Structure 1
Amino acid sequence: MLEARRPIVGVCAAIAALCGVLAVHALPALPSGVLVLALAGLGALALLLPRLRLLGWLLLGFAWCAWHAGIALDARLPSELEGRDVLVAGTVDGLPLRRDDATRFVLRIEQARLDGDDLPLRGRVRVAWYDGAPEALAACDRWQLLLRLKRPRGLVNPGGFDAERQALERGIVAVGYVREAEVDRRLGARAACIDRLRESIAAGIASRVTDAHDAALLRAFAIGDTRGLEQGDWEVARANGIPHLIAISGFHVGVAGLFGVALAWSLWAACPRLGLRMAYPLVRAPAALLAASLYGLLAGGSLPTVRTLAMIAVVAAMRFGRRGGGGPHTLALALLAILAVDPLATLAPGFWLSFVGVAFLMLALGPVRGRLRFLRELGLGQLVMTVALLPLSIAFFGEASLVGALSNLVAVPVISFVIVPLCLLAVIALLLLPAAAMLPLALAAAVAHVQWWLLEQAAHWPGAHWWLPESEPWTAALAIAGALWLFLPRATPARLLGLLLFVPLLWPSRPPPGAGAFEALVIDVGQGLSVLVRTRGHALLFDAGARYPSDFDLGDAAVLPALHALGVDRLDRFVISHGDNDHAGGAATVARAFPAAARASGEPGRLAIGADACRAGEAWEWDGVRFAMLGPAEAAADVRGNDRSCVLLVEGRAGRLLLPGDISRRVEGDVAGAAGAGPPLAIIVPHHGSRSSSSPALLAALHPVIAVVSAGWRNRFHHPAPDVVARYAAIGAVLVNTADAGAVHLAFPADAPPRIVARERERQWHYWREGMRGSPAPVAAASTSSQTASAALL
């Protein structure tokens, strides 16, 4: 009886420890070091009492995660060193990414100096080397570099990617760029480094496969090298629900493990005397672990890889210990192993997709016998994964694929049982006999080419991209409980009622503005501008942020996710104020997503997309809200550049919003005269707060009550200018900057003056979030307090 209960106890212990870790991630600030120590001690005592063991696991999970998080935050670059030039020595960690504008890589710092003094800065730094990065820069090289650094800080928007959370999870302590200086030099290379071998294999594949895209796919399938894949490739993958197959998945590692088992069987079959020393059943798990571990190293050690390796290691230990254990027990021990090594891995979406997906497969796919077992598991498995992972996909990425189950029916067997084995053979050949790699690479490239063509066709099917509005975290947990109910054993009554638990996630409550009211979202696009204006039944987008030479597109990275998160499935108008990149760079991406939107611009000739010209005097009304174009004036034909910006005034019953683009004081007087008197006004500060704009005459005429600056954190233009900030303060306007606050939500009710509803950086506050300028960040205080626990536990 005791032996039968152990698997259940192990599963419960793993779940309790995980709940403790999640409790840390739910906190706005980390607890003090003394409290962490106390909880760790109480957890250790509780483990000694049978009735309190689950509580002990929970407390230990909490304390362990809080301690790790404190160490990670303490390792970040001190705020006072931001913008300073730091001389560092370190090793290139991972594979450098070369683009036309820059070479990007991660440097693991081993030594840092500032003005000749040593700095206690260690860890991984994400670096960009612009204009002149040497071709010799390679994985595992040691370099001395002069870096301009800042703390990890990302854009914060509804539905947006959380770069600060990822930085914590991946151990990134700073980001920066190389300063061209005489001190920059190569120091040598590490003697033994797996990334150099990975880079050599990637080069071998690229030189033997003629089609560059096919070569990029094979590098991803073989060693997890996704540097050759473009944004469009990831869009195709997401539309088909197969990103887990492109980057090395746990299933691929399992295939490598089966290869190790087959090799061991061949050796024991060829030499039966080996069985006298060790029985073959005891050899299988270690052989699988060895082969899977070698492949996992070549694959870059992704989280699904580590999870699979942990499960294989648990099975191997059980085999040698003569102990039994089913799939749930094995998964629970693998979970405990990962939490013990790195509890911050729970911040990664891959952690949840991996463990939850495997858990549901174990639940739904019971033991099946017969010739059709594989087909049943493949078909039912895709249905299970689609339904079970739907809440997590929406919570993490804001979208799901309704064609993913069908695409995976073809992609899983083709990639896992054809392309990946061929790639593995090619990798072995490249290591032992390079000439023999041509055949498996040619076959794998041919299959991958056809497979990808099919996926590109499926990516255009209805439902390939299913976007859902942002909802509360509890709705995802409720939907997962509904999926669990659905896939319980057949004897469970009313299983279909589990579908009802998906309703809050799929149809979140988001009441629109009333008649005569509107709302606006100033999207955080860094040094640029993008503003969404919504009435009861219409939506307008003003500008779309920048697009950089690296192909990083704010239209795709910030604007579209924000629109989808707010439930905007149609744009009625798209205004691109003028042709500068920081306003129009993301316009093409937005136009592709909303092709039916009417487009207008102050400089249509400078755009990559078609648009009509904005004309002063044009006006229209939506749901009791009046929209009036105040500029540019047709009479000002000699006006160019920033002063050609479209200027839009939105007026509800009790409030107004002015969107002036990048106009300067040269035309601000005309704009103020055209705006005239009216209800209280909020203004998007012209030209990001440049000294050439926001003249005293404009502010005296309009007297805005709210002013929003859209600027980048520590931008090189030093926007907003101090004298501009002082002008708004002098008239009593509430001034907020997206660089500090993230996206800014504004409400313009029909019966009340305009107000700031939310600052996104505060709304999404977590202990890893960087603070706002001028106010103490809770994360900084919590990080400092963790030093006590760190010192004591070490």
Structure 2
Amino acid sequence: MLFLTLNFLLGIMVFSTKNTLSLSIFEISLFFALLLAVLVTFRRQKSIAINLVLFMLGFVWMGLFSNQTLQINIDEKFFNTTINVIGTIEDIPKVGNNKTQFIFKASSPFKAKLKLSWYEKSRVKIHSGDQWKFLIKIKHNNSYQNKGGFDYEKWLFFKQFDATGYVKKSDSNQLLAPNTGLSIDLIRHKIQQRLVDSISQLEFIGVINALIIGDRSLVNNDHWELFKSTNTTHLSVISGLHIGLISGFIFLFSSFLWRQCRACTLKLPASVIGAYFGLFSAFSYALIAGFSIPTQRAFIMASVVFLSIILRRNHNGWQLYGSALLLVLVSNPLSVFSVGFWLSFYVVAIIIYGVKQHQNKHWLFRLLYIQLLISLSTIPLIAWFFSSGSILSPIANIIAIPVFSFITTPFSLFGIILSYAQLDWLSGFVFSVANQSLIYLSIFLHYLQSFELNQWQYTPVSASALVLLIISILIGLLPSALKLRQVALILAIVALFQPHQQLKQGEVVITTLDVGQGLAQVVRTQNHVLMFDTGARYRSGFNMGEAVIVPYLQTQQIDAIDLLIISHGDNDHIGGLDSLLKKISVKQIISSVPEKISTNSDLCKTKPSWKWDGVDFQMLNTTHDFNGNNASCVLKISTSKHSIILTGDIEKKAEQHLVNIWDKQLKADVLISPHHGSKTSSSELFLATVAPKLVIISSGYKNRFNHPAKIVIDRYKAHNIVISNTNCSGQIDVALSQEITITHYRQAQKRYYWRQCE
């Protein structure tokens, strides 16, 4: 069963890497070749034929499921315009400081699943199951596409959202019909409200809420960062571990009680009764958690185990594991896009593997061994998904798992039961015990977090290197593998040794990151790094420094910036600065607005020119007093053969000034479009003087300023300038060497579930 399932999984994985839904001639030919192989080998080698069939079924099933998910029943005329929609609130709304986010199942004028935000200061309360009429504006699913960044577009596809948008301020926004039924989401919402009303004074109410109903919207950011830095986030919300522990406890407890009745055991074995109660408890806990995809996965895994007991089938651990994996993949093949899918099934596999190694040892030894095995072997996987890891995570988890498993989670669940039993004084005490356990645990985790070497950054490697590293750890921990540990060490060295491509003397790479409506650029020479602007920061606290720039720098093994230039003081250029400074060392900052920068900085004109590794840097806009956009620092970067100009938000007035001062020295091969392609910039005179072959525009998808302006695009075309835009290409890399090389991230890494570029 396991090998069959793995072939089914392989078929799904192969399809998930495709860049289009349609099949190429090569893929069709390969499909028929595999079909022919099945027919030829079926009689003599049935196992090979069946595995090939499972692979093809996985490939086809993923294609069919993906195609169905991408079928959006929204007419194009409804996008990027204000429309009135009627629908129902789903799940528990996420209430933040500045906005409320919620899932809206629209029913008119179209049927779709929408992810909406409502920026409403008066905090109108919305509840799951309520029917509302909203004035909204929606757009196609979209995300910033950069190396190392979170693929929000893939997440939206995985969650099967048809579009995203926001509620506009309007008198037409009204509640049509409150939810008067008893839907599970409404029950979950009421549980959350009960917790807020009764134990809001507890420091860890957010974690307690997450453990009861699977919603982490109330978890404090500082607490989340603490769990994240110690690799214990998987414990702070309902996961397979919690459902497995609770259902396992119910199984053991109910079996024990049944055994006390001898007559009862003659009619039905205690293990079967325990399995029934265990199955029911797993279902109930998953239901209270909203039957989210992670809890569905955990319930399926628990169901396979309990049903095998109920049906009195003797299966080994790997057979049950394969059955559970197959059921999850058949129910939702998009699970392969979930980090939780890989971590949960990987951990279960490690547990099965670990249990078989020390079957004759004391249970406490086996427990500690498995815990150590899980903690060490998951480090590569966690680093692969999150580009960072905690060296001390094994120690953190050895303490945290028992605390969450035997104190925090059971006391949280017991507390809410007591609360609904009207035993408020007792429930308050039980909740306080759960809270106190987290307080003591946080003290311990803070202590681990304080070690300077605890947190380490990881440079992404190939999938094959990841597999080698995991194998080396498993071999190294085998009790009978003393002779193989040298091999394990060699495998680990091969996996970790990733030669980083070094630029040559006189070469430079300019990376324009996809930061939406804003600008952030990284300039690299052989031994130096320059950062030009840092993108925006939004009211929610989300900012490009933390979300885009730092992850990208980590993928490039950059932990220090030699020079940071902030062209001017607009939010979309300076907004990510503070978050960047918290994570990355910056040696020097220059700007046209040093007064807006919290750390020491100078004016751009104090550094008129310099040379790094055979590459010349010239600050151009230094001799005239301008304000606002026209005060932007303008930088020209030149190699022996090519050059590029970084312009900030200069407009026609500053462009005229640059032409007057520099004239033909402005000529460059590549131009960063001034002011994101605004109609106030890119004047005829400036373009004729610079005479670029390529222009790069950094603008947001369907931005409210309508950048780039059509008149500017027409002007570029009239000058025969090749146009690249981050809202279409994602991250854009321009390498100036003997030739000019341009790489567009969206085209190079294209996936079938990404937005199609217009």
TM over 0.5: yes
Which structure 2 residues correspond to residues 620-769 of structure 1 after superposition, within 5 A? Answer: 620-633=610-623, 635-636=624-625, 639-672=626-659, 673-674=661-662, 677=665, 680-749=668-737, 752-756=738-742, 758-769=743-754
Output the TM-score relative to the length of structure 2: 0.92
Mapped to 2, the partners of 1:193 and 1:278 lie a distance apart of 35
* 1:516 partner letter: G
- The residue number in structure 2 matching 1:215 is 205
Mapped to 2, the partners of 1:20 and 1:694 lie a distance apart of 50
- The residue number in structure 2 matching 1:614 is 604
Mapped to 2, the partners of 1:516 and 1:549 lie a distance apart of 42
- Among 5, 13, 21, the alignment partner of 2:12 is 21
Mapped to 2, the partners of 1:422 and 1:356 lie a distance apart of 28
Mapped pair 1:498 → 2:488: yes
Tell me the secondary structure at the aligned position of residue 425 of structure 1. helix
- Judged with a 3 Å threshold, the aligned counterparts in structure 2 of structure 1 residues 714 and 564 are, in CA distance, closer, same or farther, namely same
Tell me the secondary structure at the aligned position of residue 14 of structure 1. helix
Mapped to 2, the partners of 1:644 and 1:360 lie a distance apart of 59
Which structure 2 residues correspond to residues 378-777 of structure 1 after superposition, within 5 A? Answer: 378=368, 380-435=369-424, 436-487=426-477, 490-491=480-481, 494-503=484-493, 505-615=495-605, 618-633=608-623, 635-636=624-625, 639-672=626-659, 673-674=661-662, 677=665, 680-749=668-737, 752-756=738-742, 758-773=743-758
Mapped to 1, the partners of 2:739 and 2:23 lie a distance apart of 42
* 1:70 partner letter: N
- Judged with a 3 Å threshold, the aligned counterparts in structure 2 of structure 1 residues 223 and 375 are, in CA distance, closer, same or farther, namely farther
Mapped pair 1:101 → 2:98: yes
Given that residues 668 and 692 in structure 2 are in contact (C-alpha distance below 8 angstroms), is that contact kept between their aligned partners in structure 1? yes
- Judged with a 3 Å threshold, the aligned counterparts in structure 2 of structure 1 residues 487 and 26 are, in CA distance, closer, same or farther, namely farther
Given that residues 667 and 690 in structure 2 are in contact (C-alpha distance below 8 angstroms), is that contact kept between their aligned partners in structure 1? no
Given that residues 630 and 648 in structure 1 are in contact (C-alpha distance below 8 angstroms), is that contact kept between their aligned partners in structure 2? yes
- What is the aligned-residue identity percentage? 28
How many Å apart are 1:163 and its aligned residue?
Answer: 1.3
Given that residues 303 and 351 in structure 1 are in contact (C-alpha distance below 8 angstroms), is that contact kept between their aligned partners in structure 2? no
- Judged with a 3 Å threshold, the aligned counterparts in structure 2 of structure 1 residues 489 and 410 are, in CA distance, closer, same or farther, namely closer
Mapped to 2, the partners of 1:761 and 1:191 lie a distance apart of 45
How many Å apart are 1:67 and its aligned residue?
Answer: 0.7
Mapped to 2, the partners of 1:66 and 1:666 lie a distance apart of 54
Which structure 2 residues correspond to residues 91-130 of structure 1 after superposition, within 5 A? Answer: 91-109=88-106, 111-113=107-109, 119=110, 121-122=111-112, 124-130=113-119
- Judged with a 3 Å threshold, the aligned counterparts in structure 2 of structure 1 residues 472 and 281 are, in CA distance, closer, same or farther, namely closer
Moved more, 641-650 or 79-88: 79-88
- Judged with a 3 Å threshold, the aligned counterparts in structure 2 of structure 1 residues 705 and 469 are, in CA distance, closer, same or farther, namely farther
Mapped to 2, the partners of 1:82 and 1:487 lie a distance apart of 55
Mapped to 1, the partners of 2:411 and 2:371 lie a distance apart of 24
Tell me the secondary structure at the aligned position of residue 615 of structure 1. helix
Moved more, 186-195 or 164-173: 186-195
What do the CA deviations read for 1:522-547 (whole angstroms, capped 9, x no partner)? 01000011000011111111111111
- The residue number in structure 1 matching 2:190 is 200
Mapped to 2, the partners of 1:291 and 1:176 lie a distance apart of 37
Mapped to 1, the partners of 2:183 and 2:271 lie a distance apart of 33
Mapped to 2, the partners of 1:461 and 1:273 lie a distance apart of 59
How many Å apart are 1:205 and its aligned residue?
Answer: 2.5
Given that residues 253 and 296 in structure 1 are in contact (C-alpha distance below 8 angstroms), is that contact kept between their aligned partners in structure 2? yes
Moved more, 406-415 or 674-683: 674-683
- Among 157, 176, 180, the alignment partner of 2:169 is 180
* 2:118 partner letter: W
Where structure 1 has 5 or more consecutive residues not aligned to the other structure, the ranges are 1-9, 114-118, 774-794
* 2:429 partner letter: L
Mapped to 1, the partners of 2:745 and 2:275 lie a distance apart of 49
Mapped to 2, the partners of 1:162 and 1:726 lie a distance apart of 32
Count of equivalent residues: 749
- The residue number in structure 2 matching 1:343 is 333
How many Å apart are 1:250 and its aligned residue?
Answer: 1.5
Given that residues 519 and 534 in structure 1 are in contact (C-alpha distance below 8 angstroms), is that contact kept between their aligned partners in structure 2? yes
How many Å apart are 1:707 and its aligned residue?
Answer: 1.2
How many Å apart are 1:650 and its aligned residue?
Answer: 1.9
Tell me the secondary structure at the aligned position of residue 52 of structure 2. helix
Given that residues 98 and 121 in structure 2 are in contact (C-alpha distance below 8 angstroms), is that contact kept between their aligned partners in structure 1? no
- The residue number in structure 1 matching 2:234 is 244
Mapped to 2, the partners of 1:423 and 1:383 lie a distance apart of 27
Mapped to 2, the partners of 1:565 and 1:732 lie a distance apart of 35
Tell me the secondary structure at the aligned position of residue 707 of structure 1. strand
Where structure 2 has 5 or more consecutive residues not aligned to the other structure, the ranges are none
- Judged with a 3 Å threshold, the aligned counterparts in structure 2 of structure 1 residues 303 and 242 are, in CA distance, closer, same or farther, namely farther
What do the CA deviations read for 1:263-314 (whole angstroms, capped 9, x no partner)? 4246425655443442211111221121122112223334443333222211
- The residue number in structure 1 matching 2:279 is 289
- Judged with a 3 Å threshold, the aligned counterparts in structure 2 of structure 1 residues 578 and 458 are, in CA distance, closer, same or farther, namely farther
- Among 265, 271, 287, the alignment partner of 1:275 is 265
Identify the structure with bigger relative contact order (alpha carbons < 8 Å, sequence gap 6+).
1
How many Å apart are 1:260 and its aligned residue?
Answer: 1.7
How many Å apart are 1:441 and its aligned residue?
Answer: 0.8
* 1:766 partner letter: R
Output the TM-score relative to the length of structure 1: 0.88
Mapped to 1, the partners of 2:34 and 2:143 lie a distance apart of 33
- Among 45, 48, 62, the alignment partner of 1:65 is 62
Mapped pair 1:360 → 2:350: yes
- Judged with a 3 Å threshold, the aligned counterparts in structure 2 of structure 1 residues 38 and 342 are, in CA distance, closer, same or farther, namely farther
What do the CA deviations read for 1:755-783 (whole angstroms, capped 9, x no partner)? 31x1111122111111211xxxxxxxxxx
Moved more, 33-42 or 607-616: 33-42
How many Å apart are 1:486 and its aligned residue?
Answer: 4.2
What do the CA deviations read for 1:420-454 (whole angstroms, capped 9, x no partner)? 11112112223333513101111111221221233
- Judged with a 3 Å threshold, the aligned counterparts in structure 2 of structure 1 residues 513 and 497 are, in CA distance, closer, same or farther, namely same
Tell me the secondary structure at the aligned position of residue 494 of structure 1. helix
- Judged with a 3 Å threshold, the aligned counterparts in structure 2 of structure 1 residues 66 and 353 are, in CA distance, closer, same or farther, namely same
- Judged with a 3 Å threshold, the aligned counterparts in structure 2 of structure 1 residues 771 and 490 are, in CA distance, closer, same or farther, namely same
- Judged with a 3 Å threshold, the aligned counterparts in structure 2 of structure 1 residues 567 and 382 are, in CA distance, closer, same or farther, namely farther
- Judged with a 3 Å threshold, the aligned counterparts in structure 2 of structure 1 residues 377 and 631 are, in CA distance, closer, same or farther, namely farther
- Judged with a 3 Å threshold, the aligned counterparts in structure 2 of structure 1 residues 366 and 463 are, in CA distance, closer, same or farther, namely farther
Mapped to 1, the partners of 2:353 and 2:582 lie a distance apart of 41
Mapped to 1, the partners of 2:632 and 2:202 lie a distance apart of 41
How many Å apart are 1:72 and its aligned residue?
Answer: 0.3
Mapped to 2, the partners of 1:131 and 1:178 lie a distance apart of 9
Tell me the secondary structure at the aligned position of residue 714 of structure 1. coil
- Among 143, 159, 182, the alignment partner of 2:148 is 159
- Judged with a 3 Å threshold, the aligned counterparts in structure 2 of structure 1 residues 42 and 551 are, in CA distance, closer, same or farther, namely farther
- Judged with a 3 Å threshold, the aligned counterparts in structure 2 of structure 1 residues 210 and 375 are, in CA distance, closer, same or farther, namely farther
Mapped to 1, the partners of 2:615 and 2:403 lie a distance apart of 55
Given that residues 680 and 753 in structure 1 are in contact (C-alpha distance below 8 angstroms), is that contact kept between their aligned partners in structure 2? no
How many Å apart are 1:416 and its aligned residue?
Answer: 1.6
* 1:112 partner letter: S
Mapped to 1, the partners of 2:729 and 2:343 lie a distance apart of 31
